[in-house]
Amino acid sequence: MRQSIRFALLTVILAGCSDSSSIDVEGLVCKTRLDCGKGFVCDPANKRCIKGYDGINGVTATEIVLGNSGGTVSGGNEASAKGGLDGAKAYLEHVNSQGGIFGRKFRMEHLDDGLKNDRATANVAEFTNPVNGSRKVFALLANYGSGPVVASVQTAIDNKTVFFAPVTGSAALRKVPPDRYVFNYRASGLEQVTLAVRFLTAKGGEMNIHPRNIAVFAQGKDAPAPNSCGAEECAWTDKCSWNAEGAISCDSANPGIEHIDAYGEAGFTGTWQQLKEDFAIPRDEVVFATYPISTTVVKAAAVHLLRWLARPKKADEYKSSGKFDAGIILQALNGPAAAFVALMEDEIERVNKSEAVTLGLKTEEVAELKKLDKLTYLGTALSEAFAKTQLEKANPARY
């Protein structure tokens, strides 16, 4: 009896080794995919073999289709968006050259969203909305930009699509507990800004900047409707006024927090949280200014932050020399970051040379700004694209 049972078991095992397709493994107990055989995967929820995708949700017998949305053609940060996409494609091509994943090769489909939230959401919907029960792609990879990614991620989640390695540091994609389909592969914006603030303010460090001399230049949402001062001059706030000299003055008591976008907010939040933790500086005392997304309209922000630099200070904010250092976190894209730095540095140079200022600084503000010893800009915008935007068109030493 025992011998016949052993013979029967051996027959089944040999049959499985010679042709696993002849055995219906669906529902069998498993630990890994390898326990199930070709065409099946191991369901981690119940440890049973189930049929894998074939001709559904972007997966066929020969390929795995991935989707990507980013502003590679338009949107103001094309170089960075394209760089992320090209990097992803390069690695996928490497995997394909090694035979792919169990014989399936990757194919990436890309749609430009111009760094616009509505277009990104439409792109993600096109990739993931089921048609006859099947999605166009297996997963989304390296979608670019905080605003577009935050706006579109829920569409992917609703359609049960993996949202892998989005190029954003937004806290909205780093929930606790995490969203089921979202997998991050880079540091959060908060983590990046935390390190930046620590670098600028560390006592005994290279910068050693007083914490009250730290501000943020951050990306905002689309410009609000024009007001009495014009959308360009006061794009980052609803309140503004003209002074006696006819210069613009944006209301610093209402710095337009409602106009900051997801990318900008990460920079501002990371800055004030670190300043509060290390130096007990409250949130409403951390100064920031924004620019409208997808523009280089930075004049109002430059005016506001120049006046912040030129404000009366407490004694401990100065160095022993009577001068002061300051730092500005750039939570901005390459183009507006370059325009902002150039506008700030041009005006500071005019002040130092005792030339006529152009951004409406008052006499006492000019006198205070002359005490500025060093202004440091720190942010992810300071990249090769930034250099090509600004430095190659001017004297590199100046900026």
**Do residues 201 and 347 both lie within one domain?**
yes
Q: Would the pLDDT of 167 be above 60?
A: yes
Tell me the per-residue pLDDT of 19-43, one tens digit each, with 9 for 90 and over. 445 567 888 999 998 899 878 889 9
**Do residues 92 and 113 both lie within one domain?**
yes
Q: Which residue has the higher pLDDT, 225 or 362?
A: 362
Domain contains 8: no
Tell me the per-residue pLDDT of 176-187, one tens digit each, with 9 for 90 and over. 999 999 999 888
Domain contains 11: no
- Domains of the chain: total: 3
Classified as helix, coil or strand, 168 is coil
**Do residues 212 and 240 both lie within one domain?**
yes
Q: Would the pLDDT of 58 be above 50?
A: yes
Strand segments (E) across 95-213? 105-112, 139-141, 162-164, 182-183
Token look-up 């990614």 returns 149
Domain C-terminal end among 185, 218, 235: 185
**Do residues 159 and 225 both lie within one domain?**
no
Residue 68: strand pairing partners: 110
Domain contains 14: no
- The predicted pLDDT at position 163 comes to 98
Q: How far apart are CA 165 and CA 369, in angstroms?
A: 43
The domain that holds 207 is classified in CATH as 3.40.50.2300
- The predicted pLDDT at position 387 comes to 65
Burial code of 134-166, b = ≥16 C-beta within 10 A, e = fewer?
ebbbbbbbbbbbbbbbbbbbebbbebebbbbbb
**Do residues 180 and 208 both lie within one domain?**
no
Compute CA 150 distance to the chain's CA centroid, rounded to the nearest angstrom.
Answer: 10
Query: 217: which 2 tokens?
Result: 């230049």
**Do residues 341 and 206 both lie within one domain?**
yes
Q: Would the pLDDT of 259 be above 90?
A: no
Query: Residue 91: what are its φ and ψ, rounded to 5°?
Result: -70, -40
Choose from 79-93, 149-163, 379-393 the range with maximum mean pLDDT.
Answer: 149-163
**Do residues 114 and 170 both lie within one domain?**
yes
Give the DSSP letter of residue 144: B
Confidence of residue 389 (pLDDT cuts 50, 70, 90): low
205-209 contacts: CB < 8 A, separation 24 or more? 207/325, 207/327, 207/376, 208/325, 209/325, 209/326, 209/327, 209/376
**Do residues 136 and 67 both lie within one domain?**
yes
Domain C-terminal end among 158, 185, 212: 185
Q: How far apart are CA 302 and CA 233, in angstroms?
A: 10
Domain contains 4: no
Domain contains 9: no
Q: How far apart are CA 270 and CA 281, in angstroms?
A: 13
Supply the mean pLDDT for the chain: 82
Radius of gyration of the chain (CA): 28
Average pLDDT over residues 362-384: 87
Range of the domain at 326: 190-398
**Do residues 154 and 206 both lie within one domain?**
no
Helix (H) / strand (E) containing 128:
helix 117-128
**Do residues 287 and 234 both lie within one domain?**
yes
Domain contains 373: yes
Residue 107: strand pairing partners: 65
Under 8 Å between Cβ of 250 and 231: no
Domain contains 69: yes
Mode of pairing for the β-strands spanning 48-51 and 40-43? antiparallel
Q: How far apart are CA 194 and CA 197, in angstroms?
A: 5
Query: 84: which 2 tokens?
Result: 């992320």
Q: Would the pLDDT of 296 be above 70?
A: yes
In DSSP notation, 205-232 reads SSS---GGGEEEEEEE-SPPPP-TT-TT
Among candidates 66, 148, 143, which has minimal Cα distance to 109?
Answer: 66
Classified as helix, coil or strand, 104 is strand
**Do residues 130 and 213 both lie within one domain?**
no
**Do residues 307 and 343 both lie within one domain?**
yes
What is this structure's pTM? 0.69
Neighbours of 322 (CB within 10 A): 8
Domain C-terminal end among 185, 216, 249: 185
Question: What type of residue is 70?
Answer: G
Token look-up 């407490």 returns 314
Q: Would the pLDDT of 239 be above 80?
A: no
Q: How far apart are CA 267 and CA 210, in angstroms?
A: 19
